[in-house]
Structure 1
Amino acid sequence: MPILQTINKGHVPVKVYTDDIEHSAYQQLVNMSQMPFIHSHIAAMPDVHCGIGATVGSVIPTKGAIIPAAVGVDIGCGMNAIRLSIKADQLPDNLRGLRSAIERDVPVGFNMHKYDAVPDSTVRALSNGLSNIWEKHPKLKSKQKQPYQTWIRQLATLGGGNHFIELCLDENDDVWVMLHSGSRGVGNAIGQYFIEMARRDMEKVQMNLPDRDLAYFNEGTSHFNDYIEAVGWAQDYAMINRREMMRLVLKVLKARLPNFKVTKEAINCHHNYVSEEHHFGETVFVTRKGAIRAREGELGIIPGSMGAKSFIVRGKGNESSFCSCSHGAGRVMSRSKAKRLFNEQDLATQTADVECKKDKSVIDEIPAAYKDIDKVMANQTDLVDVVHTLKQVVCIKG
């Protein structure tokens, strides 16, 4: 489906791929469009909803500046999916044991490994980059307790919130492993640190912003360069975190399932990140806050909620969206509202066919708290083609 509405209340238009947008998210899009360094326009995906400063589900091209809060604190958050060579009927009838085994070997929530769970060479490579960032910004270390041990032991861990590990079945009954996670505590620390720094920089020059969370760094300044270095490191960390977590999940499965191979159809993509790209005649910084890149022929992952379908998609390279698409269903209510409205029985009913937690700790992730994934997909047929439709049978939440 093409662009459904255009907002013309700022320096550039906002092209929106949905007619279902809450007032607070609408205002955030207006605020962003007033920033003087936006290139061409802003694209809002079908799952767009209110975020901090910038909407989740938006694609923001900037020239000469970057807004740290638009990238957010879960820097490099994204998806990893792999198709296995086994079928649904080769899974055990009772999937509780598989879920328990994965939860035992892959720390979730605030938990972390008690030892270094990834190869030493990977740790050394990441350590060199982070040490350089810490040397320039020693106060960054104070954002975490035992920062050096923490970032290492959180590699190959899930985290909490909407992060998950799933076993899914596609339309051919092929088994997939899919997971969603980011840069963990160290990415959060980097995000918070530079968001606060951008605010202070704006206060010094008495910049009048439509929202204090749209504070930015100008290209060429030391803080801009340091942020680019730090956010790039966090994005690498997030990619490695997903890769290493997938390795641990596959190790669990190989010990408990019939012999299988991993197919070549594997995807590891960010959906909270910034990258330098060329669009509409200019090289710009593209911030995708809750959106994935969907260049022509490029594979991506659009997950639904705990009880809904997910999709493997192929990008169409639509320039109006800056070659992007949605990153999921998108929330329709806050976590606190979901906890007020729903109970454990509601969760059990809405996830009846999924082996997952069904207690109060994950009520805020209940499917009803999210938009209808089918409608979200219908609104972006101009952006992607569906390659596989997945339905989860196991879902592990933090």
Structure 2
Amino acid sequence: MKKKNKQKSTKLAASDLQKIGFPAGKPLGTALNIIHTYYTDLGKNHQIELLQDVMAAPDQYQLHATLGPLAQAILARNETKPVDLKQERQEYKVYGAEGIQEGAFQQMEIAMCLPVTHAGALMPDAHQGYGLPIGGVLATLNAVIPYGVGVDIGCRMSMSIYDIHHGFLNKNREELKKMLMDNTRFGFTSFKKPMYHEVMDRHEFSEIPIVHELKDRAYQQLGTSGGGNHFVEFGTVEIQDANNEFGLPLGTYLSVLSHSGSRGLGANIAGYYTKVAMDVCRLPLEAKHLAWLDLDTEAGQEYWMAMNLAGDYASACHHQIHQRLSAALGTEPMATIENHHNFAWKEKDAKGREVIVHRKGATPAGKGVLGIIPGSMATPGFIVRGKGDPASLNSASHGAGRVMSRTQAQKTLSLPDVQKQLKKAGIEVIGSSLDEAPMVYKDIHKVMASQEDLVEIVGTFQPKIVRMNGDEKYMEVD
């Protein structure tokens, strides 16, 4: 049977305009509204040619009956004035400085010179990223920085703890591995029939043009995990705090832990609104990825809604992963924990002033707030309770943090050596590659020691069967 060729859409979309370098933000949204209202009789190529004419000479179209608003939006963008950084940076707190890359410090120094910056902190797992370093926490005044949030918007940890003795795991390894294979998908693969979730009915999918175009892809990826350091794993949790919030007796339990984010939905929202921010906030070259959106503007409000949608979508994916695995286990969890990073929150500072707190690869750690800080595929993770330290902006690390880039790992690590370490640790890995090997990460115990003022440990998670993106046989131990 021959496969049917997928027909290309004849309706002009934001992606069509992005390909020709059309200005993002208000000009793009205005262009789509005008085309879909007044020029539906033109073919797509003619529509694009018309918009290119306006883009090339907007001053000639300012008084045009239908194209005038578009010309004015383009002219307003072109007249945007450069933004200067502050001459003196604000002070910020650093945790675990001895283990942090120089590049992360440099990025944080620049972030602390932004005119909208209110406060900042650097977590012990920090390393260099784009714009704000991964592990960077930044509070701003009425402004949101898309690259301060990160590309994988709302990336999070989720854990289910079951009333199943930990000895079950060693006796049923093959069955549990099959559960992971049957009930999880990574990277570009997805389920043939995604499960329904109410997040797909959200109004943002119809009200925000760029988000509307991402809905079909988001539905296809529902309940799946990304590549890179994302995982779903069976392991054991040892509850160490008798006064834990779950009412669980001290002991060791079977657990599922997952780490993933908002997939293509979040990545495309981040990419689009970063371009919008860079158009309206012209920073010096070294700070360009820290361009922000004023929350009083239409673009700022759009991004805020889209960011929250992406965060809720990421949560929905985790809930479906755990729902599938709970069904496979034939039981419901006794306790669940979930926290996200790569997000921005509206919070109050010590004086009661509202600030926008960006946690790019940082865990919320307000007083009494529960979270999960993982290590690597061969080292423990921790259930933690925040202490609410104001100096850290109520934050903690989101993991161990990398000490080796992906490229460096692929060039320098040996597969047999990695397999040997995994076997010694009693870990089975399905998928993954050398760039996620245990030795590319910092010592999680040193990271935790650097943030004793930020969190207290409620329980310890030990991974046992790990599934990540990639060839299913690649990292398995003989």
The TM-score with structure 1 as length reference comes to 0.88
Equivalent-residue separation in structure 2 for 1:109 and 1:10 (angstroms): 43
User: Aligned ranges for residues 178-327 of structure 1 at < 5 Å?
Assistant: 178-203=257-282, 207-208=283-284, 210-254=286-330, 260-263=331-334, 265-281=335-351, 282-327=353-398
**Alpha-carbon RMSD:** 1.8
Amino acid at match of 1:160: G
Q: Does 1:355 align with 2:436?
A: no
Equivalent-residue separation in structure 2 for 1:228 and 1:307 (angstroms): 37
Preserved contact between residue 79 and residue 178 of structure 1 (Cα < 8 Å): yes
The alignment partner of 2:418 has SS state of helix
User: Aligned ranges for residues 1-398 of structure 1 at < 5 Å?
Assistant: 10-19=88-97, 20-39=99-118, 41-93=119-171, 95-119=173-197, 121-124=198-201, 126=202, 128-134=203-209, 137=210, 141=213, 147-171=214-238, 172-203=251-282, 207-208=283-284, 210-254=286-330, 260-263=331-334, 265-281=335-351, 282-352=353-423, 353-357=426-430, 361-398=432-469
Preserved contact between residue 194 and residue 223 of structure 2 (Cα < 8 Å): no
Preserved contact between residue 48 and residue 330 of structure 1 (Cα < 8 Å): yes
The Cα of 1:170 is off from its aligned counterpart by 2.4
**Partner in structure 2 of residue 144 of structure 1:** none
Aligned length: 368
Preserved contact between residue 102 and residue 252 of structure 1 (Cα < 8 Å): no
- Please list the CA deviations of residues 248-298 of structure 1 after superposition, one character each: whole Å capped at 9, or x if unmatched: 1212222xxxxx4411x3111111101100112211111100111111111
Equivalent-residue separation in structure 2 for 1:192 and 1:87 (angstroms): 45
Equivalent-residue separation in structure 2 for 1:51 and 1:238 (angstroms): 21
Equivalent-residue separation in structure 1 for 2:220 and 2:152 (angstroms): 17
Equivalent-residue separation in structure 2 for 1:394 and 1:116 (angstroms): 24
Equivalent-residue separation in structure 2 for 1:28 and 1:110 (angstroms): 32
**Partner in structure 2 of residue 257 of structure 1:** none
Amino acid at match of 1:212: K
The Cα of 1:329 is off from its aligned counterpart by 0.2
Q: Give ranges in structure 1 of 5+ residues lacking alignment.
A: 1-8, 142-146, 255-259
Amino acid at match of 1:210: E
Compare relative contact order (CA 8 Å, sep 6+) and give the higher one, 1 or 2. 1
The Cα of 1:209 is off from its aligned counterpart by 5.4
The Cα of 1:325 is off from its aligned counterpart by 0.7
Equivalent-residue separation in structure 2 for 1:91 and 1:329 (angstroms): 25
Q: Give ranges in structure 2 of 5+ residues lacking alignment.
A: 1-86, 239-250, 470-478
Equivalent-residue separation in structure 1 for 2:460 and 2:383 (angstroms): 7
Q: Give the structure with the higher percent strand.
A: 1
- Please list the CA deviations of residues 329-357 of structure 1 after superposition, one character each: whole Å capped at 9, or x if unmatched: 00111111111111221221222211213
Preserved contact between residue 10 and residue 31 of structure 1 (Cα < 8 Å): no
The alignment partner of 1:347 has SS state of helix
Equivalent-residue separation in structure 2 for 1:221 and 1:148 (angstroms): 24
The alignment partner of 2:428 has SS state of coil
The Cα of 1:94 is off from its aligned counterpart by 5.1
Preserved contact between residue 230 and residue 260 of structure 2 (Cα < 8 Å): yes
Preserved contact between residue 427 and residue 465 of structure 2 (Cα < 8 Å): yes
Equivalent-residue separation in structure 2 for 1:149 and 1:296 (angstroms): 39
The Cα of 1:369 is off from its aligned counterpart by 0.3
Amino acid at match of 2:112: S
Equivalent-residue separation in structure 2 for 1:148 and 1:236 (angstroms): 14
- Please list the CA deviations of residues 41-98 of structure 1 after superposition, one character each: whole Å capped at 9, or x if unmatched: 2111110111111110111100021111111110000100111101111235351332
Equivalent-residue separation in structure 2 for 1:308 and 1:272 (angstroms): 23
Equivalent-residue separation in structure 2 for 1:192 and 1:32 (angstroms): 19
Decide whether aligned partners of structure 1 residues 308 and 92 sit closer, same or farther in structure 2, where only a CA change above 3 A counts. closer
The alignment partner of 1:332 has SS state of coil
Equivalent-residue separation in structure 2 for 1:113 and 1:60 (angstroms): 37
The TM-score with structure 2 as length reference comes to 0.74
The alignment partner of 2:433 has SS state of helix
- Please list the CA deviations of residues 27-47 of structure 1 after superposition, one character each: whole Å capped at 9, or x if unmatched: 0011111111111x2111110
Equivalent-residue separation in structure 2 for 1:390 and 1:53 (angstroms): 32
Amino acid at match of 1:74: D
Equivalent-residue separation in structure 1 for 2:465 and 2:349 (angstroms): 40
The alignment partner of 1:210 has SS state of helix
